[in-house]
Amino acid sequence: MNSSKPPIKPQPVGGGVRRGWPDRAVPLIPSAVAGRWPRWAANLTTQARDDATGMDWPTPSRMALVAFLRDALEVADDLLDTPVCTASPANNLHVVELSALPLPARAHNCLRRAGHVTVADLAGLTWRDLLLLRNFGLTTLIGTVSTLDHLTANPELLPIPAASSGNTRGEQIPNVPTDPIEVGAWLLEHLFAATDPRQRDVVVHRYGLDGDPVYLLTDLGETWGVSSERIRQVQLQALRRILDSLHIDPATAVVRARISQELGGDSAEPWATLAAEVWPGAPAQAGGLLFILITGSTTAKTRWDDLFKAWISELDRQARHTATDRRQADRADARLAPLLSKAWWPAWARSGEPSPRTPTRSGGAEETIGFPSDKLGRRLACESMLEHDVFTLFERSTQVAWYCEQPVAIAYQHDGHEHRYYPDALVHLNDGRMLLVEVKPLYQASLSINLAKWAEARRWCNHHGIGFLITDGRTGLDDFLSAPHKAELTRALIELAAQKAAIDWPSVKRLRSRLSFGTNDLTRSLHAAGLEVDLRPWRARTATAYD
């Protein structure tokens, strides 16, 4: 863009220099604008200086400057990415509190409400960030950035001495504490020096600085025979006196800026933790006093109350969550223990941690039932609600170190063809043992394809020293098959098998019309009769002998 041609016709504009500044010719035009349109800025500065009366520049000139900047942003919106403050971290401007600078009143209110205490808090912010603050408009932006520009260029005008002291932000300033215990003693020194005995007692009891529980406003009011509102007023007066005493000493800006930057203003926990170090035995509420004194405003009390309530609510939620996790873990351990006792274990047990922990076959986790696993650090894929229930048991049990779904592929033969079998899970127990798990409705235990899979899986487990468990999440397969079966149904199936090479489904339906039995009863009786079932079509025949 042509630096000599502004986006609108130049007008006699200027800006107001706040009363008390040593030079009424301080330009109100931000340096970013003046650098882009220098001829126009010089013309405005000259005309504004000529039109100025006393220490104030004409209001029409300030309004014209705002109108110009608004039009300039329409053709050069990259101005919004201009840094608010360009001073280097070594400049003493960074440790100066914003309340000590001659910024517009609205700027003070908006920045304090946003939690910005020192100039260092504005580091990294842009014009866009300031304009996003509530009630922070272009007029306020112009006054803020031009003031910071002027102080950066003229450090001798800083509220604290710079050239004479030789102190920078990174250097130690005498009498400014750095150790938390020293910070506590330093703040208590200001507390005792700035308040009368009654105000001091209110602050000590309201924040528990003597190690006693925090007193409520009503408790102190009843003790001293006044209303709780009067106690609140005394507390507020005491805080204001302490803050005034801190503001008197410019060196306090260093330690307050450092602590404020380290602890931040988004959580009450670090403030409560520091308060416990500063005043041993003090309750968490003492962090509120630190928060108010360090941030430098009595209005910070409302902010602290919100942070403290949110923190306590989060602690309560975590405590409830921990208690819930403990109960769920106890129930999971109680369910898993009998299942482990019913698993098949080889003569030797493998120890160690096989790899990988990722599934051999992807079931499409985005298309299946699943949940995020803390033990695996990823989302777990489940192919049925039955698997979901068993995997949740593994996730919650303290006996399980980790587990993985579909961990291996096992080749097996069925009907003269070779197939691949993917067991549902491999579980690594905390005692070092490992267990291959198949999750199935146990009424499918008589299917020939399942019997072939499980026989090969047991051989694989025996070779690798790993246990094998077939379960529906409530009981193991052996317990299911060993339950009492209907003897009459078993005899009928044996008789049919002797008459036919294979029992078809219509024959079973005729048995059901004569004998009352369910699916589980049929499965147990087929097992007792030494039969297995082929599907498509349904046929029961003599079971294959597996080694």
88: in domain: yes
pLDDT of residue 49: 57
Does 272 share its domain with 372? no
Q: Is the pLDDT of residue 505 over 60?
A: yes
Residue 379 sits at φ, ψ, to 5 deg, of: -85, 135
pLDDT of 437 strictly over 90 = yes
**Nearest Cα to Cα of residue 345 among 449, 206, 248, 468:** 468
Side chain identity, residue 499: Q
Over range 378-401, report the average pLDDT: 89
Which candidate, 85, 123, 86, places its Cα nearest to that of 257?
Answer: 123
The residue range of the domain holding 386 is 365-442+460-478
**Alpha-carbon torsion (284, 296, 93, 72), positive or negative:** positive
Range 445-463 average pLDDT: 90
Specify whether the backbone of 119 is left (phi greater than 0), alpha (psi in -120 to 50) or beta: alpha
User: For position 107, which CATH number holds?
Assistant: 1.10.150.20
Q: Name the average pLDDT for the chain.
A: 76
Comparing 91 with 315, which gets the higher pLDDT?
A: 315
Residue at a domain's end among 245, 271, 298: 298
Answer yes or no: is 73 within a domain.
yes
Q: Residues with Cβ < 8 Å from 287, sequence gap 6 or more?
A: 268, 271, 272, 273, 274, 275, 304, 308
Among 397, 358, 353, which Cα is nearest to 377's?
358
Indicate whether 245 and 261 sit together in one domain.
Answer: yes
Question: Which residues is 380 bridged to in the sheet?
Answer: 371
Q: Quick one: tokens of 117?
A: 């205490």
Three-state secondary structure along 216-273?
CHHHHHHHHCCCHHHHHHHHHHHHHHHHHHHHHCCCHHHHHHHHHHHHCCCCCHHHHH
Same domain, 148 and 263: no
**Over residues 163-190, mean pLDDT:** 53
User: Given this model, what pLDDT does residue 158 score?
Assistant: 60
The structural domain count of the chain equals 4
Mean pLDDT of 165-192: 56
Residues 201 and 242 in one domain: yes
Do 73 and 141 touch, CB atoms closer than 8 A? no
Least confidently predicted of 26-35, 156-165, 471-480, 508-517? 156-165
Tokens read off for 266: 């988004």
- The more confidently predicted of residues 503 and 71 is 503
Neighbours of 347 (CB within 10 A): 6
Residue 470: predicted pLDDT: 92
Q: How confident is the model at residue 54 (pLDDT cuts 50, 70, 90)?
A: very low
- Kindly state whether residues 107 and 142 are assigned to the same domain: yes
Q: Confirm if 117 and 257 have CB atoms less than 8 A apart.
A: yes
Mean pLDDT of 275-283: 80
- 55-66 confidence digits (pLDDT tens): 445 565 666 677
Residue 149 pLDDT: 78
Instruction: Give, for 425, the enclosing helix (H) or strand (E).
Output: strand 425-429
Average pLDDT over residues 506-533: 89
Give a yes or no: residue 254 inside a domain.
yes
452 phi, psi to nearest 5 deg: -70, -45
Lowest mean pLDDT among 215-229, 240-254, 311-325, 386-400: 240-254
Question: Does an H or E element contain 403, and which?
Answer: strand 400-405
Tell me 120's DSSP state: G
- Indicate whether 45 and 144 sit together in one domain: yes
Domain-located, residue 431: yes
Does any domain span residue 469?
A: yes
Asked, for residue 98, whether it belongs to a domain, the answer is yes
Is residue 284 a part of any domain in this protein?
yes
255: tokens are 């330690």
pLDDT average, residue stretch 456-473: 90
Query: How many CA atoms lie less than 13 Å away from 489 in the CB half-sphere?
Result: 26
Residue 366: is its pLDDT beyond 50? Answer: no
Task: Say if residue 474 is in the same domain as residue 489.
Answer: no
pLDDT in tens, 395-431: 999 999 889 888 889 999 888 889 999 998 999 998 8
Is 116 inside any structural domain? yes
Domain end (from 242, 268, 298): 298
Residues 190 and 292 in one domain: yes
Residue 23 has pLDDT above 60, yes or no: no
Tell me: do 98 and 126 sit in the same domain. yes
- Tell me: do 153 and 65 sit in the same domain: yes
* CA 272 to the chain's CA centroid: 19
Note whether 186 and 282 are same-domain residues: yes
CATH number of the domain that residue 438 is part of: 3.40.1350.10
Those residues with Cβ within 8 angstroms of residue 43's Cβ, 6 or more apart along the chain or in another chain: 10
Output the pLDDT for position 7. 38
Residue 189 sits in a domain whose CATH number is: 1.10.10.10
pLDDT at 392 over 80: yes
Among 249-263, 334-348, 404-418, which stretch is predicted with the lowest mean pLDDT?
Answer: 249-263
| Same domain, yes or no: 94 and 201 | no
pLDDT over 50 (residue 367): no
- Residue 61 makes CB contacts below 8 A (sequence gap 6+) with 12, 13, 14, 15, 47, 48, 51
Residue 2: predicted pLDDT: 42
Helix (H) or strand (E) holding 412: strand 410-414
